[in-house]
Structure 1
Amino acid sequence: METQKQKKSFGQWIKTSITIRMLMVGILILVLLIPLSYIKSLIQERSFRQEEVVSDINQKWGNEVLLYGPILKVPYQTHKIHKTWDEKTKSYSEEDIITIHHAFIFPSTLEINGNIESEALKRGIYQSVVYTADMKITGSFTTPTFETKDIAKEDILWQKATVIINSTNLKGIKSNLQIQMGSDAYPLRSRYVENSYTNMLETKFLKENAVPTEHMINFNLDLMINGSEQLRFIPVGRETNVSMTSNWASPSFNGNFLPNSKTKEITENGFKANWKVLQINREFEQEFYGELPHINSSAFGVKLLIPVDEYQKSERATKYGYLVIALTFLVFFLIQTVSKIHIHPFQYLMIGLALTMFYTLLISISEHSSFLKAYGIAGIAVVLLISIYAKSILKNFKFMAMIGASLTALYSFIFVIIQLENYALIVGSIGLFLILGAIMMVSRKIDWGLD
């Protein structure tokens, strides 16, 4: 009889012990980290799928564009005297071994005026920003200083000089390219270059009146090209000026040089930007001999952004999943402790699973709607579900309203943090401080003595 009373007393202690209840709640929070980790993996998987679709769209339309040129390519020859001993004549015979090299001369001035017509292409639930750029490229070449390399005038093969332009996207070119050099026009044709990060376009040999042997030669070129996401230039001119307009309202100016802040303009109808880069601002010279250098690290331009990345925001929301579950369980635990109402661990588990369902709803709905609508629908659905369930557990409308208000405030607080970027840390810190203060004020009236 005494043993049964002891068992009953022990079972009652297990049921009413605050320490045991806290331990059970802590274990359930750790268990719920498992579905949250799966949800994070789901978001990453959907995000990777989006990147694959966007990459496929861009490849078919035209990838990002990097322009490098125009550049004057001038062959020159070097001499090496090879001496051979002749046993018969008992003397040396000399042979002049000639090797052909190339000089790459950058323009003295380079002006690029471009208009970018952009649009968002969709495939299913995914979209990518693509554009058609209409550019007018003008400038001039001045006489290069071969004397600095001890190259004699007679060794310069001006009759075999050409003009080259490099681009990362030949597929997107939508016009027959020809560059006006002096009074003549020269078509540009693609040329394969091994181990090059860009594709080369080159003219035929220039006429005598199109090379800057004694005086400056002006050039101009019209280029229409399809591209995606970003358009960049390498400032090969001794003075490079780029002017760009577009109908895309979400640009990101990137690269080694930023546009002039006084002339930059971004509105809901598009943007305007101007760059001016001088030779002294660059890290490379105006003339190269032997090989064309890899100087794409000096590129600058604009990246056209999709205004909202739903997966990025969903991933940021899931980072607060642990906080939502812990604080919600804490509210239920405080209500249980104050009201002496028993809540079974299984009921805590159901509440936790309902909270994790918020994120699957958020991801699935945001793929077909805006993030704001998806967040609102998912939040309302979960708050109503848990509030109604809390009414059946706690048997009190006051506690039900308290749970509903707490969850609404928590989801609203997290939504505000997600929208903020520069102030997310300070707003989050202040919010958590206030939440902690409220919990401390409520919990100070609870008797935490040993059971």
Structure 2
Amino acid sequence: MAFADRAERTPGMKLAFTILVAALLAIPLFSVYLLAYDRENQSRTAIASIAEGWGGPQTIAGPILVIPYQADATETVTEGGRQVTRTNRVWRELELAPDVANLESSLAPERRKRSIYEVVVYSAHTAGQARFTLPADLTRYGVTADALAYDRAELRFGLSDARGLYGPPPSVTVDGRSAKLQPGKGPDETGGSGFFAPIDASAIRDRAIAAQFAFDFRGNGSLTLSPRAGDTRWQVTSPWQHPSFQGGFLPTGHATTSDGFRANWRVGNLALGTSLVDTGTPADPNRAAAGNVAAGPGTHQASVALITPVDLYAQVNRSVKYGFLFIGFTFMAFLLFDVVGGVRVSAAEYLLVGAGLVLFFIMLLAFAEVIGFTAAYLVAAAAIVALLTAYSAAVLRSRRRAGYIAGLLVALYAVLYVLLSLEAYSLLIGSLLLFAALASVMYLTRNLEWGGRPAAPEPAV
């Protein structure tokens, strides 16, 4: 290597050597990418720790009216080498989804911090009304109205993480009469987690019955609704300014202002592809123990997430992917000063400049976790530009040439910030930038003999 530095190299050899040094810098650049990934995992672990005990991403479901009934069940067994058919009376459940359900949820967000990590949690208040009617054609489901045990009916509500219930106990009234609540027996959509109210639903034989309910709970990340009614209307309001609407059903209308957001959903059971009536076996009494499992937004759910406007780890990871552009453009500038301006640049100097460019991304990650991405970007960029400008003045033996390097770095960092901010146009801007750079290099080296041999004189015309 020392001999190569002392020997006179052709411009082509200098180009190849510069590319080799740049390729070697891919190793620390990839290490920075892995560092950002590791810090992101640590952040997720810290966020989960902060939110522990507060409540996870919540899913609400119901109410569902469940009325038990007795039915005949046949089974065939073998006794004494003969098959014997027996008929037993078993309990089954008739599940009735409401004809109409109106729900209103208000979310009060709160930022909670531990060390340098921060998570957005919320306190929610949900209130609503539901109307239930008994289908006139119950016989088509294999059930008769007289077989139903109306006095053993239950009104069931689902909450995926029931630990999040807080404040006054949930309030449930049926036809104006308050109902006592018990834990568990939530719908399948919440893994059996939730609460229920034993009621006497005898009035449903003659008319519709109405239920009113209200409850407070805590959660973090997102709130999801699993609609079941014939006509479900859900309104969500919050002072949070950065909602993300997810799931299989998007809002029919929403508005986001500086004061927060308001969103409305309206979902019918025809869109859900489910019947308002379902029959099945009794619920497993131990199923509630399987609750506390947050159901993510699915194709039959509506969901809203409270997101942070800037995911700093995603931004840092994206910026690292542009690291080769920084190294390539800066090295190309030094190479042009070398082969065109006659200023010799050694391998060690290329490596030191490259190390400074890689250090930018480490500083960006470290500062972003403390002061935010934008401020960290300005601090890291200013530090690296100042460092490399001062070093370039010594390497290139000219403050004027160092000024060109400073201008190039400032332009690169400005363009990178634009690329990170305008994700949809990053490919377009990046390709135009590469085109302009290639055109500039072609123009500046148009008369350069890369092999180091003088150009042959052109024949006279």
TM-score normalized by the length of structure 2: 0.88
Deviation of 1:81 after TM superposition, in Å, equals 6.9
Q: Given the alignment of the two structures, is residue 156 of structure 1 paired with residue 148 of structure 2, yes or no?
A: yes
- Provide the rounded CA distance (Å) in 1 between the counterparts of 2:140 and 2:67: 15
Q: Kindly state the Cα deviation for residue 13 of structure 1 after the two structures are TM-superposed.
A: 8.9
CA separation of 1:366 and 1:296: change in aligned 2, threshold 3 A: closer
Contact 2:186–2:195 at 8 Å: present in 1 too? no
Q: Give the alignment partner of residue 131 of structure 2, picking from 140, 143, 146.
A: 140
Structure 2 letter corresponding to 1:188 = L
Match of 2:280 in 1: 290
2:365 to 363, 366, 372: 363
Q: Is the 8 A contact 1:316 1:418 kept in 2?
A: yes
Q: Distance in 1 between matches of 2:437 and 2:371?
A: 32
Gaps of 5+ in 1: 1-9, 85-92
Q: 2:39 aligns with which of 37, 46, 52?
A: 46
The one-letter code sitting in structure 1 at the alignment partner of 2:332 is L
Give the match for residue 319 of structure 2: 317
Unaligned stretches of 5+ residues in structure 2: 78-83, 284-294, 454-461
Amino acid at match of 2:394: S
State the alpha-carbon separation in 2 of the partners of residues 421 and 48 from structure 1.
23
Measured against aligned partners, the alpha-carbon deviations of 1:251-282 in whole angstroms (never above 9, x if no partner) come to 00111111123xx1101220011111122221
CA contact (8 A) 2:11 2:451 kept: no
Q: Distance in 1 between matches of 2:157 and 2:34?
A: 44
In 2: Cα distance, 1:30 partner to 1:329 partner: 11
Identity %: 25
Q: Cα offset for 1:308?
A: 1.3
The partner residue of 2:219 within 223, 227, 234 is 227
Shift of 1:408: 1.0
| 1:393-412 to 2 correspondences below 5 Å | 393-412=395-414
Other structure's SS at 1:16 match? coil
Q: Distance in 2 between matches of 1:17 and 1:82?
A: 92
Give the C-alpha shift of residue 324 in structure 1: 0.8
Displacement, 1:438?
2.0
Q: Distance in 2 between matches of 1:40 and 1:447?
A: 38
1:327 aligns with 2:329: yes
Distance of 1:353 and 1:82 partners within structure 2: 77
Cα shift readout 1:30-57 (whole Å, capped 9, x = no counterpart) = 1111111111111001100111111122
Q: How many angstroms apart in 2 are the aligned matches of 1:272 and 1:193?
A: 28
Residues 77-226 of structure 1: pairs in structure 2 closer than 5 A: 77-80=70-73, 97-144=88-135, 145-174=137-166, 175-191=168-184, 197-204=191-198, 206-209=199-202, 211-226=203-218
Moved over 3 A (4+): 10-14, 80-84, 93-96, 192-196, 291-297
| Whole-angstrom distance in 2 between the partners of 1:227 and 1:29 | 48
Question: Structure 1 residues 115, 83: closer, same or farther in 2, change over 3 A?
Answer: closer
Aligned to 1:377, the other structure's residue is in SS state helix
Give the Å deviation of 1:65: 1.1
Which of 21, 24, 27 is the equivalent residue of 1:31? 24
| Separation in 2, partners of 1:377, 1:296 | 42
Number of the residue aligned with 2:51: 58
**2:224 is aligned with 1:250:** no
The alpha carbon displacement at 1:192 in A equals 6.3
Aligned to 1:89: none
Q: Distance in 2 between matches of 1:399 and 1:83?
A: 94
Q: Quick one: structure 1 residues 13 and 365, their matched pair in 2 at CA, closer, same or farther if it must change by over 3 Å?
A: closer
Corresponding residue for residue 265 of structure 2: 275
Which amino acid in structure 2 is aligned with residue 48 of structure 1?
A: N
The secondary structure found in structure 2 opposite 1:342 is coil
Distance 1:296 1:156 in 2: 33
Give the Cα–Cα distance (whole angstroms) in 1 for the partners of residues 282 and 315 of structure 2. Answer: 43
1:437 aligned onto 2:429: no
The letter of the residue matching 1:361 is: M
* Cα shift at 1:436: 2.0
Q: Evaluate the alpha carbon distance shift between residue 334 and residue 292 of structure 1 in structure 2; reply closer, same or farther with a 3 A threshold.
A: farther
> Is 137-146 or 303-312 further displaced after alignment?
137-146
Looking at structure 2, the residues matched to 418 and 376 of structure 1 have their Cα atoms a distance apart, in angstroms, of 14
Q: Which amino acid aligns with 1:115?
A: S
Q: Distance in 2 between matches of 1:446 and 1:156?
A: 95
Q: Quick check: 1:387–1:403 contact (8 Å CA) kept in 2?
A: yes
Higher mean alpha-carbon deviation, 292-301 vs 306-315, is at 292-301
**1:185 deviation in Å?**
1.4
Q: What's the CA shift string for 1:356-412, capped at 9, x where partnerless?
A: 111111111111112111111111111111111111111112211111111111111
Contact 1:104 1:292 in 2 (8 A): no
Partner of 1:90: none
Q: How many residues align?
A: 430
Aligned to 2:309: 307
| SS of match in other structure, 1:448 | coil
Matched with 1:337 is 339
Q: Tell me the TM-score normalized by structure 1.
A: 0.90
Give the 3 Å change call, closer, same or farther, for CA 254–50 of structure 1 in structure 2: same
Work out the CA distance in 1 between the residues paired with 2:241 and 2:427. 27
> How far apart are the structure 2 equivalents of 1:243 and 1:83?
51
44-53 vs 418-427, which moves further: 418-427
Give the AA of the match of 2:197: T
**SS of residue matched to 1:284:** coil
Whole-Å separation in 2 of the counterparts to 1:34 and 1:54: 30
- Verify the 8 A CA contact 1:14 1:20 in the aligned structure 2: no
Q: Equivalents in 1 of 2:259, 2:425: separation in Å?
A: 27
Which of 166-175 and 429-438 deviates more?
429-438
Give 1:448 deviation, angstroms.
2.4
Letter paired with 1:287: V
- Which whole-Å deviations, capped at 9, do the CAs of 1:10-38 have from their partners, x for residues lacking one? 97994232222122212111111111111
Return the offset for 1:422.
1.9
Q: Distance in 2 between matches of 1:218 and 1:420?
A: 51
Change (3 A) 1:200 1:114: closer
Residues 226 and 13 from structure 1, CA distance in 2 versus in 1: closer, same or farther, beyond 3 angstroms?
Answer: closer
Q: Which amino acid aligns with 1:157?
A: A
Who is 1:236 aligned against? 228
The answer (yes or no) to whether the contact 1:177–1:187 under 8 Å persists in 2 is no
CA distance in 2, matches of 1:286, 1:228: 31
Cα distance 1:97–1:384, how it changes in 2: closer, same or farther (>3 A)? same
Give the counterpart letter for 1:278 in structure 2. Answer: G
Letter in 2 for 1:222: A
